[in-house]
Amino acid sequence: MSQSQQTFDTNPWTRELGVELLQAADGKASITLALEPRHMNNWEAAHGGVILTMLDVVMSLAGRSLDPQAKAGVTVELKTSFMQPAGAPGDVLVGHGKVTHKSISLCFCEGELWCGERLVAKAMGTFMYMRRMDVARKLEHS
């Protein structure tokens, strides 16, 4: 099991949402979510927070797939464009992320979220990866 898979499996937020990992390797990642009534907003479309979470997670996973030493990741910057409403209960969302550039400490990624043949949202993100959990925990609590 890869480090990305292990971290994904222990992430309480993605577990709570029901997000499933399809793949994460070679600077690319894909995830999926079967929409339920709890994922909807007042207009009976997938909530923007669900969409944003999926894009954040899939891009971070793509970056982590290139750094097997990474124990944790921090989103430094995230820009999302919501293009159209995302599905109804029973529909399936699929997110794809890819690395566009990686330096020693930062990774720049792009992501897309699809509902069937419809592009729902696009995002760009910058991520910093922690190789030591003691540093990651210290940042979380300072």
Is residue 33 pLDDT above 60, yes or no?
yes
Stronger pLDDT, 9 or 111, i.e. the higher one:
111
pLDDT of residue 73: 79
Find the CATH number of the domain harbouring 128: 3.10.129.10
pTM comes to 0.88
Count up the domains in the chain and report the number: 1
Condensed to tens digits (0 to 9), the pLDDT of residues 60-118 reads: 999 999 988 887 779 999 999 999 999 899 999 999 999 999 998 899 999 999 999 99
Instruction: Give the domain range for residue 126.
Output: 3-141
DSSP codes, 79-139: EEEE-S----TT-EEEEEEEEEEE-SSEEEEEEEEEETTEEEEEEEEEEEEES-HHHHHHH
**Cβ of 30: how many Cβ atoms within 10 Å?**
17
Q: What is the pLDDT of residue 1?
A: 46
